[in-house]
Structure 1
Amino acid sequence: MKTTKLMQHSAVLAVTLATALGASAAGNGKADALFPPLAPLPPVPVPKDNPQTPEKIALGKQLYWDARLSGDGSMPCVSCHLPALGWGDGGQISRGYPGTKHWRNSQTILNSAYYNKLFWEGNVTSLEAQAPAAAEGAVAGNGDSSVMEMRLRFLPEYVESFRKVFGSEWPRINDAWRAIASYQRTVVSDGSKVPFDRFAKGDKKALSEAQQRGLAIFNGKAGCIQCHNGPLASDQKFHNLGLPDFEGFKTDPLYQVTHRWEHYQKGVSEPKYRGADMDYGLYFQTKNSKDIGKFRTPSLREVKYTGPYMHNGVFTTLEQVVDFYDAGGSAAPHKSELLKPLGLTAQEKADLVAFLDALSMTEPLIHDEPKLPGAYQPLPAPVK
């Protein structure tokens, strides 16, 4: 489902939402006219060429947990996206493949099914493309596709599962990514447990008075709705916030190795590679200087469980995030014009944080670890 369809879904719910909110909580009116309103999530979008089936989802869950889909057999998807840590890894910067360090925060996969741009610089556009990009990334999974595929073929349980799900004689690595994508489409918010969603559907008691005040601030004085809008609470666009740098890039040699290597392999000019003074974000994709320091807007859904925040994990609490925006961000070239000092009071900040909590389920989404296939088995000798 494209962003336009999410916006259409927002429009359908807008009347119901406006009625639930009331005039005092609806913000300043201007924001509502310019941006899609927050709204409950629509059904999960599923591509026609990768339909959901229970068997495919179950296979994808196994593969998501299976370390054999990585370079040295130690880095399954779940190693950086753990259910108990908000489906991220809980660290400022992702852990990285053994012997390396990563260079960005591990984004949660919660509700990633709704994104049309994945990763912080939006360099893939589907979950089917996201899975191999992570599993094969040099500072992530560092797996070789042909080796990982061959491993699956020496596991009889997987051979049988792939045959049932995809009709192939042997497991194929592209089908593994399709199965993982299908599983990730089940890692989504349960709207019945999200206070804001219940409130938007007419339950006026679902939000506390402080949370309702926070919603009004979100839509009005704070202007959060400018970027965090629609059912996903993200415009899926790219913005430069003038964030402070991650200090490790200045002091830790392994972080510096990764930082410079990423610049080099993304094809920036030699002076930028040699200097490697910052993470250029979207610029790595476009090579347009106006895109330096821009990163895709993350969803605010389940934000209660998914810190640290920002592409470099620079903030550990929502209070810090709100303080940063209240100050108008930091000075930086090409910083978004949307960021301006807000002048929020201490009470308004507290109310805003209270509302942000209401965009998360009242309990975290946890999936139990699946049973994985056992040891590799030798293949029978070919019949002569």
Structure 2
Amino acid sequence: MKNETDWLALLAFKDGISEDPLGVLSSWNNSLRFCQWVRATCSRRQHQRVTSLNLTDHSLVGYLSPHIGNLSFLRRIDLSTNKFKGEIPQEIGRLFRHQVLNLTENSFQGEIPSNLSHCSELIISIARNQLVGELPPELGSLSKLIFLSAMFNDLSGSIPPLLGNLSSLTTLFLRGANQFTGALPISLSNAISLEFVDFSSNSFSGHVPLNLGSLSRLYHFNIEKNQLGNREGDDLSFLTSLTNCTNLKVISASVNNLYGELPGSIANLWRQLNLLVLGRNKIFGIIPKGIENLISLYGLGLQVNSLKGTLPDSFGKLNKLQALSLYGNKFSGQIPPSIGNITQLSNLYLDVNDFHGSIPLSLEIWDLWNNFSFLKINSMVPYSNESAQLKSTCLITHSLGLSCWK
């Protein structure tokens, strides 16, 4: 009987578990039909076949049995936040009805099975494991894939260009602890449903594609902590294409090798933009006119570049700004008093520049300690405290997973 196949597959799954401290699998025995076993869900329409296995966050220790591939009606596997180890069995590729694979936060090793492309996967999350090797190019054939997260592994190689053909893909997480290299694929612009892109903390290099404006749904674009840039003077041209992304809220490209001037087009970025972080690059020139158009900004980071000139008085119109980091540049002149009128501003970094004159009264009267803020302008320091600095630096960006301002 086919449902006996499911029963034997579940027993084999249980045999692969060496520790079950919460006893979640204690009901998996002959006293109950397997469709009554905890966390195993069957479909009545499919003659009592297992369709879902949800064992998230149960502190299970063991190996994922290859017999998982015999659960031919399985649509969902969620084994996240456990202590599974060993390789992801190739037999998962036999589950052609499979839609959700969540193995996040385990200790899986080895490579990603290339035959996952045989499934009808909509969601794949293999983040926070110990996987190695490259992203299988075959993933580019999962035409219905909407979510892919492989962050915090030890993956390497380049992004398969075929991923750009996935017109249903909304989320692509490849950040952190991985070692991806090469250029960001131009084909990415074909993934027209993309909303959330995070390639941070890798070793990507070369130009940022200039055709990203076709991603009309994009709202989060994070490429910080890479080696992007060709030192040809136009490395920031991609910002112009992003002006077509009408839903964009976050741009972070800090800690790269981006070389050039800030394009005047950044004033045309959509008014709902909340965060623009371009610190620790090789940006020179002045801050373009029209920066005050970005009325929804609550974080602006341009620190450790070679920007010069005076600060525009129009900064005072950014009345939602909570963090402004301009330290480590070549700004000169006086500090605009209008900055002190930004009532929500709680993180201000202007040190290591060439400002002169006195600190505007509107800044001097800040109760900096009570607001966990830190202000330093060369030697003109009305009040500072190291612990306040440490508390405030990551206040705005931490919730978004972005770098600190310093």
Same fold (TM over 0.5): no
TM-score, length-scaled by structure 2 = 0.18
More helix by share: 1
- Quick check: which has more Rg, 1 or 2? 2
Q: TM-score, normalised by structure 1?
A: 0.19
